[in-house]
Amino acid sequence: MDIKSEELKYLKLLSRNFPTIKDTVTEIINLEAILSLPKGTEHFISDIHGEYEAFNHVLKNCSGVIKDKIERYFGDKLSEKEKKQLATVIYYPKEKIDLICSLEKNMDEWYLKTICRILKILQMVSSKYTRSKVAKAMTDEFSYIIQELLYERKEEENKKDYVEGIINTIISIGSSKDFIISISNLIQNLVIDNLHIVGDIYDRGAYPHKIMDRLMNYHNVDIQWGNHDILWVGAACGQEACIANAIRICLRYSNKEILEDGYGINLLPLASFAMEIYKDDPCKSFLPKVKEELNKKNSELISKMHKAISIIQFKLEGQIIKRNKTFNMEDRLFLDKIIENKVLVDGEYYELKDKKFQTLIKDDPYVLTKEEEEVLVGLVKSFKNSEKLQHHIKFLLENGSVYLCRNENLMFHGCIPFDKMGGFEEVDVLGKKYSGKKLLDICDTLCRLGYYHEKNIEARDFIWYLWCGKNSSLFGKDKMRTFERYFIEDKKIHKEKYNYYYEFSRKKEPLERVLKEFGIDSEYAHIINGHVPVKVKNGENPIRGEGKLLLIDGGFSKAYQPTTGIAGYTLIFNSRGKRIVCHKPFESIKNSIENCLDIESKSEIIDIRNTRIKVRDTDIGKELKTQVKDLKKLLECYKKGIIK
């Protein structure tokens, strides 16, 4: 047995974890067994945009997977009403049981039926995992009892009384509700092995902070950053233009609560400044976008704050563009092109809807006034000192990336920048050109440098560029026409042109080139994107490029649902293949609990395998096979006395 010194050094380190032949043999057997299990289910969700209730429900029902399990096991054995009630109990056990307690006369009988039924579903979802993995997914409460009921078969004559005795005792001592809650949470954990968030957790909806809390407590999640997420990374590290953008969007959608209640951001100095400077300005172009009616006083305050932070934003962005010539964004400078109530855009003058610019200094329109500077200093301090925001953003960075390759799938939020010929666009990043995979790699690095290194102003400016720059892979458009939408009536000037990637991604060959660029070459390989809402009502299809691209932004955000005609796509990838799930709008948690109403969803199979995909066929399987190989070498070293 020829072993190099470096390899022997590694094997000696490995022997600390497996110090005997028995330990090594046991682990080899364990890993080989795991490799033979079916792969776990992966769940893909994109463009959540602060819609916490709908997102939380999709997590709980696993895009219909739990409902499918109930249907598969019980079929005609239960009525539709009973199956819907069982599903709702698994989704919302505490709330549904509380409601049933107020209606049901014989709760002991109901508990007995429900516990027996829910245990059947648990047996189904746990069957593809080892006992140790199932045990690790359990909370301490009831873990021993659940394992006994899970692995001891009631059908066996010798165990029948034992199993029934456990269930009857749970009911008699008043622990049924807590027991069902534990099992329901365990089912939700086991039914999805890995959750992928393909970008844009933040903005538009009211509760991105709640979504982040939920993700931080999820058992296995990764995130591919969207441009809205990276905007908040910039805001958290104190990048001034990112802060202004984040506040502006919250005010635009009347979501002050995200800032004030969610993250403890002090908006009072901004409010005081806005009411003073814009007191005689109706700020009609800055009325918040809300369905609910705001009282006049509140609406006026938000509008004035909205305009105040927008003007600060345009000034700050102008400063960034001027000091970063490689961004090539001079066409986004407008404050110095306002002449006699008109503004020059793309070589043409347009009448301004709003003609009041109270804080513009004629000789240098991009400089902040003393009052604006004071407001901004306070906001930067508030963002940087928000403990909860920093906690969330660190989680986003530690569990996220610009892209991810996993199990023959390439995930990124926006695009790989293409040129007009269909090749990878060369992008100037701080004086050096990058394209394809190398471009996304340097973007990922600069995001982390910008957040963790306060003095790296270039990296922090680049975080802002990723939010709205014309060759940003996260943004994927030629320009963000925020100024035009606020100040110009003509809608033709509002249009933002998508990167050439979206044109070429309708064909198979360019997508296969992208996959090969990232080292993926398989007939089952897919690119999974979000970012661009699929307008189903106009006949658009989320499956493009002869099936190589899956575009799963279908309008989770309520703001997009009138455009798309649906309420989001999700993707399920289990041991039998992939299926995309189209969702109708989610009404409310209250309605779901009271009336056992699930999200109405429709599935479409993307690919189906003739044989089930095993753990050995996955990326984790490759790692486990390497571990087995190393353990076998260690075993040989033990047997030959090379390692004592």
Q: Number of folded domains in the chain?
A: 3
Residues 131 and 76 in one domain: yes
User: Residue 337: inside a domain, yes or no?
Assistant: yes
- pLDDT at position 12, please? 94
Indicate left, alpha or beta for 436 from its phi (over 0: left) and psi (-120 to 50: alpha): left
Among the candidates 176, 191, 206, a domain finishes at 191
Average per-residue pLDDT for the chain: 93
Residue 262 and residue 180 share a domain: no
Residue 210 lies in a domain: no
Residue 326 sits in the same domain as residue 437: yes
Domain end marker among 191, 210, 243: 191
Are residues 323 and 415 located together in one domain of the fold?
yes
Compute φ and ψ for 642, nearest 5 degrees: -65, -40
Reading phi first (left if > 0) and then psi (alpha if -120 to 50, else beta), residue 568 is in left
Distance, CA of 477 to chain centre? 21
Q: What is the pLDDT of residue 164?
A: 86
Q: Answer yes or no: is 272 within a domain.
A: yes
Positions of the chain with pLDDT under 50: none
Query: Quick check: is 310 in a domain?
Result: yes
User: Looking at residue 604, what is its pLDDT?
Assistant: 81
The residue out of 433, 468, 503 marking a domain boundary is 468
pLDDT of residue 153: 65
**How confident is the model at residue 156, as a pLDDT?**
67
Q: 436-452 vs 508-517: helix axis angle to the nearest 10?
A: 50
369 & 234 share domain: yes
* Domain range for 389: 223-468
Rg (C-alpha) for the chain, rounded Å, is 28
Closest CA to 150 of 166, 139, 161, 170: 166
SS3 222: strand
Asked if residue 558 belongs to a domain, the reply is no
Same domain, 312 and 442: yes
How many CA atoms within 13 Å lie on the side-chain side of 206?
10
Residues 245 and 364 in one domain: yes
Q: Model-level pTM?
A: 0.94
Q: Quote the CA–CA distance of 578 and 244 in Å, as a whole number.
A: 41
Residues 400 and 443 in one domain: yes
Is position 265 within any domain? yes
Three-state DSSP state, 548: coil
Same domain, 166 and 305: no
Co-location of 167 and 258 in the same domain: no
Flag whether 293 is in a domain: yes
pLDDT of residue 3: 76
Same domain, 278 and 420: yes
Same domain, 30 and 71: no
Q: Is residue 580 part of a domain?
A: no
